[in-house]
């Protein structure tokens, strides 16, 4: 039997890149997945990929920073699959500038997507988890170990030039995770953080000719790393290369398995040997 059979997982930002790889991995191990993306088509594509492989998934489209999103995300899981067992707060992007050029909007948007949104999703999940635990205890059933994995970055551990907003948000994710590990231990919930190093996604890849951007709710955000700089960064990684989305998903999966049932409040660095 797959290790996550019967579990229900929410994965934010799972229409593309690392989030998609996480959703597909969890589904391949038996989880029923609530897929989220800002845009409908990527979310539907991920749902389709999971269903084509014999899994179960449903899309919850929209921005994680939108009003009431956390409640809607959790409600989708409960209405479709009956409960919540795994939460992966993955959605996010970068909007970089040195501090003297960073606007208040840049600062706040990145804190909202990387820190406020996970807080709101987890707050929305608490009543569902608490009620399920009380029901199990009242019926004399064992309380299953539920999992929260919040996605951070080595920028949140050691800082990164041009990313004061992103580094601050990701450092906050660590504080949020450690606090909830203490608050939710009584529910038999483990809360951990995965801090990614250099992972190849659309946010790090520069298209041929340069000038890559992504559209985030009408904003054109520059993405991509100069190929020469990317090669330099990779040379400083002990494994000598950047990671893949599937490898990043593997790190998250480790903290969702029964083997991690006594690991909580920790940060796992997925960086090929490079930490900060």
The pLDDT value recorded for residue 160 is: 93
pLDDT tens, 70-105? 999 999 999 999 999 999 999 999 999 999 999 999
d(CA 115, CA 170): 7
d(CA 108, CA 39): 21
pLDDT tens, 34-78? 999 999 999 999 999 999 999 999 999 999 999 999 999 999 999
Confidence of residue 216 (pLDDT cuts 50, 70, 90): confident
- Looking at mean pLDDT, say which of 64-73, 195-204, 211-220, 227-236 comes out highest: 64-73
How many CB atoms neighbour CB 103 within 10 A? 11
Q: Domain 8-198+244-270: give its CATH code.
A: 3.40.50.720
Domain coordinates in residue numbering, the chain: 8-198+244-270
d(CA 210, CA 257): 40
33, 9 contact by CB (below 8 A) = yes
Q: Which residues are catalytic?
A: 166
Averaged pLDDT for residues 223-227 = 68
Q: How far is CA 204 from the centre of its chain?
A: 17
pTM above 0.85, yes or no: yes
């Amino acid at each position: 039997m797959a290790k996550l059979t019967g579990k229900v997982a929410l994965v934010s930002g799972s229409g593309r890149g690392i989030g998609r790889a996480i959703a597909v991995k969890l589904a391949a191990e038996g989880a029923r997945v609530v897929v989220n993306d800002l845009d409908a088509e990527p979310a539907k594509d991920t749902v389709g990929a999971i269903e084509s492989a014999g899994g179960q998934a449903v899309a919850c489209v929209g921005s994680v920073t939108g009003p009431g999103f956390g409640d809607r995300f959790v409600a989708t899981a409960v209405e479709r699959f009956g409960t919540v067992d795994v939460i992966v707060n993955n959605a996010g992007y970068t909007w970089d500038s040195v501090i003297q050029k960073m606007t208040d909007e840049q600062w706040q948007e990145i804190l909202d997507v990387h820190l406020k949104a996970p807080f709101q999703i987890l707050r929305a999940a608490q009543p569902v988890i608490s009620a399920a635990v009380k029901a199990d205890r009242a019926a004399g059933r064992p309380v299953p170990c539920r999992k929260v994995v919040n996605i951070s970055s080595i920028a949140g551990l050691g800082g990164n030039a041009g990313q004061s907003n992103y580094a601050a948000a990701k450092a906050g994710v660590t504080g949020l995770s450690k606090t909830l590990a203490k608050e939710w231990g009584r529910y038999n919930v483990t809360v951990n953080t995965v801090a990614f190093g250099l992972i190849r996604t659309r946010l790090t890849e520069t298209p041929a000719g340069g000038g890559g951007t992504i559209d985030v709710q009408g904003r054109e955000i520059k993405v991509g790393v100069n190929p020469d700089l990317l090669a330099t960064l990779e040379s400083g990684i002990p494994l000598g290369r950047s990671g893949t989305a599937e490898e990043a998903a593997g790190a998250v999966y480790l903290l969702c398995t029964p083997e991690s049932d006594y690991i909580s409040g920790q940060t796992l660095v997925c960086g090929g040997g490079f930490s900060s």
